């Protein structure tokens, strides 16, 4: 029996334009069309005896994460919210300290939410070996059997054998250059560092307290002064922000004398780039991997992801092409690591395409910004049955709502009334208002905004069932 700890932070900038700041790769269906990366990570544990998984994610992703857990029937799963990223050592410390505060001392299986593992049986066998080692007080890391000289991963050197199929970790090695990686592969004693771990909660805290006591004290205080909000654990933002930014490898694993590794040969990838997705998928006779509506002629070795429209290619090779509603990426496979530089350019230009998609998910539903101009914006809004937007007002815009299907209960100043299909209503600038779906089917409406400023930060909330202050 163990407690899965799923780390779902990170922004996945190398997988832009599909992965974005407010909807990163772990919440996307990149490999399995039916499951997101997070959902696949959890489902991969089926068949093993474990407690309800506990998730760690950025506060901005809380409703996205909760909805994906709900789809798996895990409405009761606890989600620890990080107000700011402080790397893996503090994140795991929060989970361990929370478990210990509940008068339990579980063995924790720490997994990243955005990894691919193709051989689930081999994964389960490695977990069984790691469980025995963790029960004896060891801190276990999973070491991936390398298949090629990879310069994008850190490495572990295998040391002497220990019980139950584990080995001592002789040393940790940073990402090597190509010649060094080729040498590691030839030696046969070097493995990729997966970033997956198993250990008892108390042992991790003991070792972290030895080598990085500040992290432990900060995380303990941040939890103590935080709050439980439904299934969300909120930590004190100011206190947690003062924690050292440190990975578990630097903080603990490279220093402890109890680090051991369990080899894992299970078709693993961290899906860190578009070429990694091309590598992992089943390709056609020309070496192409296509997703969506794609037609090609004289095309080879390429990955094409069409999200919303027909994409065609003629006479090209070794390309990555990814189409979304508001952006298209075209890159050579040898240069996909530089996609993050495009994201940096978007940030520098103060554009929004790195932040979110045209479709934006909210706890009540979703909206799609289908058109915009200098003083207007048009959105298609879908409100789930029984859900309600916050009671709010805007300083700079008026709104006109036209119901396409379903029924809306509208609060407009002092009045509350129903608006049904083919009817509309008008919300003046500065008017306190709210929108609710009282029906049993989704509410679809078109919202036309007009005014001098149309940003999402022009929302003054007076009441919100989801506990939001803004956004």
Domain CATH for 431: 2.60.120.10
- pLDDT for the residue numbered 12: 84
Give burial (CB, 10 Å; 0-12/13-18/19+) of 100: middle
350: in domain: no
pLDDT at 469: 64
Contact 39, 31 (CB under 8 A): no
CATH number at residue 41: 3.90.550.10
- Integer Cα distance of 304 and 293 in angstroms: 9
Tell me the sheet residues that pair with 376: 450
> Is 363 in the same domain as 452?
yes
Residues 273, 294: Cα–Cα separation, whole Å: 21
Same-domain check for residues 291 and 379: no
Q: Are 86 and 243 in contact (CB under 8 A)?
A: yes
Give the separation between CA 129 and CA 2, rounded to whole angstroms: 13
pLDDT at position 471: 42
Nearest to 227 by CA among 471, 467, 5: 467
User: 334 and 379 in one domain?
Assistant: no
Domain boundary among 343, 375, 399: 343
- Give 233's contacts (C-beta < 8 A, 6+ positions apart): 78, 79, 80, 81, 94, 98, 223, 226
The reported pTM is 0.89
Instruction: Please identify every stretch of the chain with a pLDDT value under 70, giving residue numbers as ranges.
Output: 469-471
Residues 255 and 330 both lie in one domain: no
What per-residue confidence (pLDDT) applies to 10?
83
Establish if 313 belongs to a structural domain: yes
The answer to whether 217 touches 167, Cβ cutoff 8 Å, is: no
Closest by Cα among 98, 106, 67, 68 to 80: 98
Query: Which pLDDT value is given to residue 467?
Result: 77
117 and 44 both lie in a single domain: yes
Domain final position from 220, 252, 269: 269
Same domain, 259 and 246: yes
Total count of domains within the chain:
3
Domain range for 200: 3-269
Residues 249 and 304 in one domain: no
For residues 74 and 220, membership in a common domain is answered with yes
| End residue of a domain, out of 343, 370, 391 | 343
Q: Do 338 and 325 reside in the same domain of the chain? A: yes
């Amino acid at each position: 029996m163990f407690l899965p700890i799923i780390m779902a932070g990170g922004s996945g900038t190398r997988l832009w334009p599909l992965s974005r700041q407010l909807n990163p790769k772990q919440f996307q269906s990149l490999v399995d069309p039916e499951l997101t990366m997070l959902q696949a990570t959890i489902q991969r544990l089926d068949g093993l005896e474990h407690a309800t998984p506990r998730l760690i994610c950025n506060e901005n992703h809380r409703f996205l994460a909760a909805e994906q857990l709900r789809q798996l029937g895990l409405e009761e799963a606890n989600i620890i919210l990080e107000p700011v990223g402080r790397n893996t050592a503090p994140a795991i410390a929060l989970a361990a300290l929370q478990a210990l505060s509940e008068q339990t001392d579980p063995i924790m299986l720490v997994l990243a939410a955005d990894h691919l593992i193709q051989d689930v049986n081999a994964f389960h066998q490695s977990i069984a070996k790691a469980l025995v080692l963790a029960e004896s007080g060891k801190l276990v890391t999973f070491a991936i059997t390398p298949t090629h000289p990879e310069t994008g991963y850190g490495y572990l050197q295998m040391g002497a054998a220990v019980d139950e199929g584990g080995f001592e970790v002789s040393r940790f090695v940073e990402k090597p250059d190509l010649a060094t990686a080729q040498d590691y592969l030839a030696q046969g004693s070097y493995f990729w560092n997966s970033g997956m771990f198993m250990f008892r909660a108390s042992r991790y805290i003991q070792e972290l307290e030895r080598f990085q006591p500040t992290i432990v004290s900060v995380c303990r205080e941040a939890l103590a002064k935080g709050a439980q909000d439904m299934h969300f654990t909120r930590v004190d933002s100011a206190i947690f922000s003062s924690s050292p930014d440190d990975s578990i490898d630097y903080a603990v694993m490279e220093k402890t004398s109890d680090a051991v590794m369990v080899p894992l040969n299970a078709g693993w990838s961290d899906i860190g780039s578009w070429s990694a997705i091309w590598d992992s998928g089943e390709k056609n006779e020309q070496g192409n991997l296509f997703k969506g509506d794609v037609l090609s002629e004289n095309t080879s070795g390429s990955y094409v992801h069409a999200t919303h429209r027909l994409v065609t290619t003629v006479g090209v090779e070794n390309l990555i092409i990814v189409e979304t509603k508001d952006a298209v990426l075209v890159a050579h496979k040898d240069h996909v690591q530089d996609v993050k530089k495009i994201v940096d350019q978007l940030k520098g230009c103060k554009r929004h395409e790195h932040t979110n998609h045209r479709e934006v998910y909210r706890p009540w539903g979703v909206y799609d910004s289908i058109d915009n101009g200098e003083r207007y914006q048009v959105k298609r809004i879908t409100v789930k049955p029984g859900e309600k937007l916050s009671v709010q007002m805007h300083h700079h815009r008026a709104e006109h709502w036209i119901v396409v299907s379903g029924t809306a209960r509208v609060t407009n100043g002092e009045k509350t009334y129903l608006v049904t299909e083919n009817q509309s209503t008008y919300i003046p600038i500065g008017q306190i208002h709210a929108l609710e779906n009282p029906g049993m089917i989704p509410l679809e409406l078109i919202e036309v905004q007009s005014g001098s400023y149309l940003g999402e930060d022009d929302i003054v909330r007076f009441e919100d069932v989801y506990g939001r202050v803004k956004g």
